[in-house]
Chains A and B, each alone.
Chain A
Amino acid sequence: MVDFTQALGAGTLVGLVYALLGLSIVIIYRASEAFNFAIGEFLVIGSFLFYIFFFDLRIPLLVALPLGLLAAGLVGALVERFAIKPLLGRSPLSMTIITLGLGFFLRGCVQLIFGSHSYSFFLELPDITQEFGDLLFLSDPIWAGILSLSTFGLILFLLFRTRWGLAIRATSENQAKAMAFGIDARFILLIVWAISSACIAVAGIMISNFGALSSMSSIVGLRAIPVVLIGGMDSIVGALVGGIIVGVCESLAGAYIEPMGLVGFKEVAPYLLLLIVLLIRPYGLFGQIRIERV
């Protein structure tokens, strides 16, 4: 029981970070029906921008964090302006494919500017490690869970309790109708990309704080794929649940299945689960079922 609780807790904490990655995919998908495959590169860029403010310029954390997120948001907005906006009105598939190419381009830029080596990443947040007998929850994952959940809450507040959020939701529902009501749908899309980039940056900073930051950290972005496909591509609740499911699934596989000799199973477990979910619910657990006229 102790092992199970440990795996469940540790998996949930990491899962909350995955959920934030999932959310960043979902909000872009809802606004433009495009899948952002460059998520890993956004994660690395956002983390490096924060790194510059906090570690290089030595700005205090409480100032460096918003500055880093703002800069990450600006990168997202720039990408939207130059790579996504020209494709407006075309098939969402075009945008999705553009994000694939964008990923390669951004990866090259990161390696050119920051190199391929690792950067040490110690935020030195107050130690809130929790230990109850054999149960141990480390400080960094707890902070990651708290910050991810807070960011998730903030985004929900923005979407459901502000006029901007209303405009974003209206654009997500129907771009043409939103424009008819005087909403600048193009600007909304820019805002969505900026918010999404900032969310990814928060996740990136938390993940880097577990270990180190390098251009190779972009691989973590791939975790968002099972998260949104399990939860549902267009569901915010699905992103949260999907993130936790993926985190817990990895953790349980690591605790129970790998010791049985199936080493490396932890890596594939979320994808196996994804297959099962898709067989039963092709649109994910919380995804909207689409009925299209053929």
Chain B
Amino acid sequence: MKQRAFFVLVCVLSLFLLFSGPLSAKEIKTLSQFPMSGPVGSLPEFGWGFIDGMNWVNNEGGGVNGKKIKWFLEDFRYDPTVEVATFNKYCAEHTPDEFLMATGYITGGLKPLIDKVNKEEKIPWLDGSYSTEIFGDDGGPSKYPYYYSLGATYGAQLKILLKWIKENDKGKGNPKVALVYSPTAWGRDGIPEAKAYAKKKGIDIVAEIEYPYSATSATSECMEIRKAKAQYVIYHGYSGASGCTAIFFKTAKQVLKDVQLTGTHYTTGRMPILVCQDAYDGYVGVATRPFVDAVPRAKTPMDNPMVKMAHEFAKKNRSSEYQKGIQEKDAIKDMFLYMEGLTYALMLQKVLTDADKAGDLSREGVKKALDKMVWDFNGMFGGKKFSYKSHTIPMLQIFKAKVNMVDVEGKKVPTGAVVPITDWINVDEVKW
């Protein structure tokens, strides 16, 4: 009888020891989704930056006050249905007390998940979307309390450009502006806000053109702008690397010689220098991040700590991809994408650490940490701090493209960068 009781006791103790450890050690889980491949664009740099960032966070970076993050990375191939389905799968597979945060990249994924994220799961969601509809005045924290964006909305970007135009226009009368945007939800986003703001500021919108991605010519668009006597063009809702952008800039260079071309975040950067070449020279654009990748790369200014960190990470962890030529397979074509992946990793660490320090490492705790966050993002915005009260990182800077064509082995190649022409602007503090 004694032997039997001893055996039962040993069994119970063994079972307790076996399961008590994992039960008490709650894991910190996050899900991140990036468009790393697919027919629309092959952008593995996002994932590389994120992987290198998360590896650093969990090791040299110290994790979340010593605890490691169990992070999941998925490639949603620029397909919102994949983004939605993957999120649903993770929600079903992981418990809310462990699965604390999710990140996404496009508005197309945010919209179908509004109820799921904000009402059912109540999980903080960081997104690359700059949607005015979601994060602007008609959306924002009151309507979508668990959505957070990593940049200022397109509406704010367009208004900042209009403000710059108004303040810098040297002509007589109201400045005349033409709006050129893509016939997509992205292109149309922020346009009503921009038009209302232009009216308020005394800027004449003299032409409004939807210029398609599949365009083979921009002659009629440019002639319409010329006919309308526009002094400025705001080009919005396009990737700087797309063929239609090259067509527009090449045509505008010849047809709109005295017109100042301006544009929003995704046409302000490295790729248009490479694709549009000298047609891009003089372009003025707004961006949510510092310029990170000059042509050639070696000439990138390293005075921004975040830019420096991204380059050092890429050199150390992806030396082959970093050194490859732009046309080579698996090259880091634009360091912006790599840095963006890295910023997600740093943001996850920052907010989870803040929540842990506050003693509430739960979804609600993470949300509170985000809402209270005041951070300089490793010096990314010239040392300026931002708060997440509008659920967007409200920082913008205006840049001007400087492109030179140089002779390399008998072939003309572009060199240049976009250089800041203003300080970082916190759009939450702007008196519109």
Which residues of A does B touch, CB under 8 Å? 3, 6-7, 10, 14, 17, 56, 58, 107, 111, 113, 115-122, 124, 129, 136, 138-141, 207-208, 210-217, 219-220, 222-223, 251, 254-255, 258-259, 263-264, 266-267
Distance of A129 Cα from B209 Cα, bound (Å): 24
Asked if A217 and B243 sit within 8 Å, CB to CB, the answer is yes
Contacts of B425 in A (CB 8 A): none
Main secondary structure, interface of A, reads helix
Complex interface residues of chain B between 218 and 237 (CB less than 8 A to chain A):
219-221, 223-224, 227
Q: Contact check: which of A58, A119, A141, A264 meets B210 at CB < 8 Å? A: A264
Top 6 A-B pairs ranked by shortest CB distance?
Answer: A211-B247, A211-B246, A254-B220, A263-B210, A212-B246, A116-B42
Distance of A120 Cα from B280 Cα, bound (Å): 12
Chain B, interface residues (CB within 8 Å), range: 35 or more
Distance of A30 Cα from B27 Cα, bound (Å): 66
Q: Contact check: which of A120, A124, A266 meets B275 at CB < 8 Å? A: A120
Q: Contact check: which of A14, A259, A263 meets B183 at CB < 8 Å? A: A263
Contacts of A118 in B (CB 8 A): 241-243, 246, 271, 275
Distance of A14 Cα from B41 Cα, bound (Å): 27
Which residue on chain A has the smallest CB distance to residue B253? A138
Give the shortest distance, in Å, between B62 (CB) and chain A (any CB).
Answer: 36
Q: Contact check: which of B227, B244, B327 meets A119 at CB < 8 Å? A: B327
Q: A118-B275, A120-B274, A259-B224 given as contacts; is B243 within 8 A of A214 (CB)?
A: yes
Q: A117-B333, A216-B243, A220-B214 given as contacts; is B223 within 8 A of A6 (CB)?
A: yes
Asked if A138 and B219 sit within 8 Å, CB to CB, the answer is yes
Q: A138-B254, A212-B243, A216-B242 given as contacts; is B209 within 8 A of A120 (CB)?
A: no
Distance of A49 Cα from B240 Cα, bound (Å): 24
Most chain B CB within a 10 A radius of its CB, from A14, A17, A210: A210
Asked if A263 and B208 sit within 8 Å, CB to CB, the answer is yes
Most chain B CB within a 10 A radius of its CB, from A17, A120, A140: A120
Asked if A115 and B329 sit within 8 Å, CB to CB, the answer is yes
Which residues of B does A touch, CB under 8 Å? 38-42, 183, 207-210, 212-214, 216-217, 219-221, 223-224, 227, 241-248, 250-251, 254-255, 271, 274-277, 327, 329, 333, 409-412, 414
Give the shortest distance, in Å, between A127 (CB) and chain B (any CB).
Answer: 9
Contacts of B246 in A (CB 8 A): 118, 120-121, 210-212
Asked if A111 and B42 sit within 8 Å, CB to CB, the answer is yes
Asked if B183 and A264 sit within 8 Å, CB to CB, the answer is yes
Asked if B209 and A263 sit within 8 Å, CB to CB, the answer is yes
Which residue on chain A has the smallest CB distance to residue B410? A58
Distance of A211 Cα from B242 Cα, bound (Å): 9
Give the shortest distance, in Å, between A248 (CB) and chain B (any CB).
Answer: 11
Asked if A58 and B214 sit within 8 Å, CB to CB, the answer is no
Asked if A211 and B219 sit within 8 Å, CB to CB, the answer is no
Contacts of A139 in B (CB 8 A): 254
Contacts of B414 in A (CB 8 A): 120
A-B contact pairs, 5 of them (CB 8 A): A107-B39, A116-B42, A211-B246, A258-B224, A259-B224
Distance of A17 Cα from B216 Cα, bound (Å): 10
Which residue on chain A has the smallest CB distance to residue B326? A117
Asked if B214 and A258 sit within 8 Å, CB to CB, the answer is no
Contacts of B208 in A (CB 8 A): 263
Asked if A213 and B216 sit within 8 Å, CB to CB, the answer is no
Q: A216-B242, A263-B210 given as contacts; is B250 within 8 A of A211 (CB)?
A: yes
Q: Contact check: which of A56, A138, A216, A263 meets B255 at CB < 8 Å? A: A138
Asked if B220 and A58 sit within 8 Å, CB to CB, the answer is no
Give the shortest distance, in Å, between B75 (CB) and chain A (any CB).
Answer: 13
Given contacts A6-B223, A118-B275, A210-B247, 11 further A-B contacts (CB under 8 A): A10-B220, A14-B216, A58-B410, A117-B41, A120-B246, A120-B414, A122-B277, A122-B412, A129-B254, A212-B242, A220-B216
Asked if A117 and B220 sit within 8 Å, CB to CB, the answer is no
Asked if A254 and B216 sit within 8 Å, CB to CB, the answer is no
Contacts of B275 in A (CB 8 A): 118-120, 212
Which residue on chain A has the smallest CB distance to residue B239? A118
Asked if B42 and A117 sit within 8 Å, CB to CB, the answer is yes
Asked if A211 and B244 sit within 8 Å, CB to CB, the answer is yes
Distance of A254 Cα from B274 Cα, bound (Å): 29
Give the shortest distance, in Å, between A92 (CB) and chain B (any CB).
Answer: 28
Contacts of A255 in B (CB 8 A): 220, 223-224
Contacts of B277 in A (CB 8 A): 120, 122
Distance of A194 Cα from B78 Cα, bound (Å): 35
Q: A120-B274, A259-B224 given as contacts; is B210 within 8 A of A213 (CB)?
A: no
Most chain A CB within a 10 A radius of its CB, from B39, B244, B255, B410: B39
Distance of A120 Cα from B41 Cα, bound (Å): 16
Give the shortest distance, in Å, between B191 (CB) and chain A (any CB).
Answer: 11
Distance of A220 Cα from B242 Cα, bound (Å): 14
Q: Contact check: which of B212, B217, B241, B271 meets A14 at CB < 8 Å? A: B217
Distance of A259 Cα from B335 Cα, bound (Å): 39
Asked if B271 and A207 sit within 8 Å, CB to CB, the answer is no
Contacts of A263 in B (CB 8 A): 183, 208-210
Distance of A135 Cα from B27 Cα, bound (Å): 68
Contacts of A140 in B (CB 8 A): 250
Most chain B CB within a 10 A radius of its CB, from A6, A17, A107, A116: A116
Distance of A95 Cα from B28 Cα, bound (Å): 55
Asked if A138 and B251 sit within 8 Å, CB to CB, the answer is yes
Q: A10-B217, A122-B277 given as contacts; is B210 within 8 A of A117 (CB)?
A: no
Which residue on chain B has the smallest CB distance to residue A254? B220
Contacts of B247 in A (CB 8 A): 210-212
Give the shortest distance, in Å, between B106 (CB) and chain A (any CB).
Answer: 16
Q: Contact check: which of A121, A213, A258 meets B209 at CB < 8 Å? A: A258
Distance of A175 Cα from B277 Cα, bound (Å): 51
Distance of A116 Cα from B409 Cα, bound (Å): 27
Most chain A CB within a 10 A radius of its CB, from B40, B221, B246, B329: B246
Distance of A211 Cα from B243 Cα, bound (Å): 5
